[in-house]
Chain A
């Protein structure tokens, strides 16, 4: 590879392996060099070991074997990270899919904490808020991202928070930027601005490792694509010399005919299964985030609600299933008066629910897969028939391709994508009348996401399941929905028929 002869290696990963308790091998003998001034995309299906590798590079996990070397001065030196602060001190910083800002603090306070933590390790003192504000101003001017250092983090949108995370990485003078699905939920316009900043970082000699399950994103941004499969690197490709099909083949070992989704739109029946009338809802901080929301979803219809992160999707789905008390309005779901009867009656009516916060409301990670499934599939009010439940668990694990050693394995031993598959599998199997979902394909690789879309379409059109999906992913909503609504600043606009309205118009409405 000629890249290596021109530029210096800044990070060298040699024979890194990691096996988790329970004998689950996450990554095995990973060898990879990252060069200065390049963007590398790390692709892989769910459970391929992407997140494990990133967490090792960021000092969250310790590898079982192998070594990491970092360019210090003119030579590569071996490093052992005990925690993320060690990694940051060596110039590595991670920007996650979920912003890590403390909501109650201002932007400057949030960044001052990081700077002070790093400086306390060097015994070089505390970083004041005014000093941080000054640094923020400088970086803000050089990147073109306008920031008010005194703004409280809870007042920021998702995109603003992600930009702050990036600015924080620049302020701490990171050399290697690990972006773990950090761009996944940015609207197109913001994503393009993010791309511009990453290009300028690259041009100034910084290195970016972009972890994504979106193949197109890898092609848009990277110089090289590294593909992980079952914990091993199966391909390191020059982006300009490869194709999407080649990448897919390496990622999944399958041909491209599985990626075509049948877009036959259904004709929903007149009967409404989900009815929302004049709904107003508060968020966790007590602010009214939704008002005058009125819509309905017919039997066998898939309705998609699209909006940028923080538009109120989470609050909307939580209200619809009865987990959040609305200020006013009426919700009828599968014949249940939700406001009066709550979640119990909703669930008993055969409604599946995929929450926005899957680890909080969707699964119990300390319990086994089968226990998580048993809680929903045991009809006897007192006893559990484990034979029936185990059969169901095996069926879900098989149908949704959950990669796990056994159905008795604790959920916490699974990768993020496989945990999502368990949640989706059990909720889709449970749903008989309706499914309410928030960002269901988040954390799923392309193949799994497409499988989910196919299953959802089949369930809606053949089994007459009514589906409501709230999402920040415009592709997801446009691919899956029979009717699309846009949620912007707490107001609902629509419905639109996806085939009849241009994507650009939807994007405009999202950010207008």
Chain B
């Protein structure tokens, strides 16, 4: 008897989608079995899991992970492994905090520059700083052939320490009641739309309202996510750069032989990837944080790494990225809910993530290959 594995001649219909859904089911089942062995109430755990994936609070994480995932996907498709999303995300916040605090006079609560120009300036400078941060790794890769993986990873730590140094030094706030953090961005620059709290007594109506509240609060992130999504689609469908990125990922030597300057292209792709991530960083500052806290890396769930996971889970297919970003955001939400419910620590979500990835590997294998016993 011999087991033979052959690639399927025809792709399974909806194979990728079915593989994703089955892998989630697989991951959750494994997770439940494990926590069940530790005596956790499974009914309660399932309830939390279910609610976490449909909770309106998933919105922020989903949008941030999705936008960053799009940025990473650009470089990953070119086989440029930008692992530095974390650093590019945080470093991009610095110009935002400097610009908003410099241009606003707290004594008179006024500014000479219109708010929308300041916001635009924050977003543009954030993107530029993110691009420059990623371009450092791009330059080393293009001109000295230094592997971008360790470089981008090291740049994450440099960004952590640099931002923390600035927050505890030159940018340390004056109205922070002794806390180590920057002053808060003036409200006129915040991009949230806050709906009033409404209680109707009807559970369904309240759920819909809660969802709308989240949407309006994070409307800037939503608009950006839609814009970046359209941009990514357009880039790969209609532009030369999109085609260059795809061919760079499969055969850069061919690209070079056709006359394309692959060194400059490497630099450009890394910068473009960093600029999208930088954009998400500056928006996070304007929409969510409003200030930069000290010990920056411990104040987020590590969006840079979660976005890598989402990007890989999508098999570098931008059409599947919303699904994988939602999945990753849902699991992050689950972790928080588990902790709040006292069923364990947030690290438990890592069990689900690991199991989902394992399940995904298995289901993708089954979707792509057939096993014959001869």
Contact = CB atoms under 8 A, between A and B. Distances in A.
Contacts of B244: 375
B247 A364 contact: yes
A125 to B, nearest CB: 26
Interface stretch (A256-264, A381-389, A470-478, A479-487): A381-389
Contacts of A384: 238-240, 243
Interface in B322-340: none
Contacts of A300: none
**Contact size class for B?**
20 to 34
A255 interface: no
A321 B253 CA distance: 14
B230 interface: no
B256 interface: yes
A363 B254 CA distance: 6
A435 interface: no
Contacts of A344: 259-261
Contacts of B251: 360, 363-367
Interface stretch (A17-25, A87-95, A188-196, A229-237): A17-25
A274 interface: no
Interface residues of A, number: 39
A367 B255 CA distance: 12
B299 interface: no
A348 B250 contact: no
B9 interface: yes
B4 A80 contact: yes
A451 interface: no
Given A64-B6, A365-B250, A365-B251, A375 B258 contact: yes
Interface string B234-277: 00001111011011011101111111110000000000000000
Interface string A343-380: 11111100001010000111111110001101110101
Nearest to B374: A80
A204 to B, nearest CB: 32
A323 interface: yes
A355 B251 CA distance: 14
A62 interface: yes
A66 to B, nearest CB: 11
B268 to A, nearest CB: 13
Given A344-B259, A344-B261, A361-B253, A62 B4 contact: yes
15 contacts: A20-B9, A21-B7, A21-B9, A80-B4, A343-B256, A343-B257, A346-B259, A347-B259, A364-B250, A364-B254, A367-B247, A367-B251, A371-B243, A375-B260, A378-B240
In the complex, the 5 A-B pairs of residues with the closest C-beta atoms, listed nearest first: A347-B259, A366-B250, A364-B251, A361-B257, A344-B259
Interface of A: 19-23, 62, 64, 80, 82, 321, 323, 343-348, 353, 355, 360-367, 371-372, 374-376, 378, 380-384, 386
Given A21-B8, A82-B2, A82-B4, 19 more contacts: A22-B9, A62-B4, A64-B6, A80-B374, A343-B256, A344-B261, A355-B257, A360-B254, A363-B251, A364-B250, A364-B255, A366-B249, A366-B251, A367-B246, A375-B260, A376-B258, A378-B240, A382-B239, A383-B239
